[in-house]
Amino acid sequence: MEKRRLGRTGMFVPAIGMGTWQTFDVRGETAVKNARSIVDMALEAGATFFDSSPMYGEAERVLGLAVEERRDAFQIATKVWADTAAEGWAQAKRSLSFFCGLIDLYQIHNLLNWEEHLAMLERLQDEGKVLAVGATHYLSSAFAELRRVMETGRIAAIQIPYNVEQREVEREILPLAADLDIGIVVMRPFGGGVLIRGSPSMEELAPLKPFGVNTLTQALLKWILSDPRCQVAIPATSSTVHMAENALAGSPPWFGTDERDYVLRLAQRF
């Protein structure tokens, strides 16, 4: 798995990580065990960057249980998602307790109340409990505000949606991030799953085989990561088999312009 420098965070991250929205919002012994097996598989495959949030129900707790006795092997990105500073502080205490007192990348979820939360995250960073501070948004209508936050110079990474059907970030967000050396975490690489509508034939995938791509999902992930401005993509999955398949897209060789165009055409057919 290729490791990439995540902007000014000071972190080197694997090209494939994992999201936990819905997939890790689980209860009960069997479901929690399954989440742990996915984490085991991710570790084995080198996909050791995980994203979560207090917005995702049980996900932070379940992820915390799966990593606690080997915390150093992972990079944990989570978020504050709160209307008030007091609620944000309560979330931070909870999140830090799930992840052995350390959060690698602490993000402001959907820019909610970002000014107050940014000050809190900077204090936690000064105390050594947070390594880097970031911000996320999933809507292009919020990108103007996201640009303003990037221009404060106070965040080292952003998390944004980018995939074959959702390419608004190419216009202003990715160029600005490159100018300011802000790291990029890519959410929703499969558009929440809707981009995986079928399976291309062996013949259709043949031009991508020299790039180590054998499935549509690998093609979609490699399409994202072949833009060097995108350092880590975080597909979510509830399956160890899917985790292993996704991780294989995190190594070179990367696509050139021709292969990226080919994947765009291929994806339109599914």
- The single residue among 188, 211, 231, 255 that binds ligand NAP, judged by CB under 6 A, is 188
Q: Which residues contact 128 (CB under 8 A, 6 or more apart)?
A: none
Q: Candidates 122-130, 141-149, 205-213, 230-238 — which segment interacts with ligand NAP by CB under 6 A?
A: 230-238
- The single residue among 173, 236, 249, 266 that binds ligand NAP, judged by CB under 6 A, is 236
Q: Which residue is nearest to ligand NAP (CB)?
A: 19
- The single residue among 246, 247, 249, 259 that binds ligand NAP, judged by CB under 6 A, is 246
Binding mask 18-57 for ligand NAP (x = CB under 6 A): -xxx-x---------------------------x------
Q: What's the CA gap between 97 and 260, in Å, rounded?
A: 42
* By CB under 6 A, residue 245 contacts ligand NAP: yes
Q: What are phi and psi of 160, to 5 degrees?
A: -140, 160
* By CB under 6 A, residue 231 contacts ligand NAP: no
CA distances from 29 to 21, 35, 64 (A): 19, 10, 15
* By CB under 6 A, residue 9 contacts ligand NAP: no
* By CB under 6 A, residue 242 contacts ligand NAP: yes
Scan residues 194-213 and list those touching ligand NAP (CB under 6 A). Answer: 196
First to last CA, the chain: 27
* Helix pair angle (114-126, 85-98), 10° resolution: 40
Contact yes or no for 132/10 (Cβ under 8 A): yes
Q: Which residues contact 9 (CB under 8 A, 6 or more apart)?
A: 105, 131, 132, 134, 156, 157, 183
CB of 173: closest distance to ligand NAP in angstroms?
Answer: 14
Q: Which is nearer to ligand NAP, 199 or 256 (CB)?
A: 199
Binding mask 110-149 for ligand NAP (x = CB under 6 A): x-------------------------xxx-----------
C-alpha closest to that of 266 among 211, 210, 171, 197:
197
Q: Which two tokens stand for residue 74?
A: 């992972």
CB of 127: closest distance to ligand NAP in angstroms?
Answer: 24
Is the omega angle on the peptide bond into residue 253 within 30 degrees of 0, that is, cis?
A: yes
Interacting residues with ligand NAP (CB under 6 A)? 19-21, 23, 51, 109-110, 136-138, 159, 187-193, 196, 217, 234-239, 242, 245-246
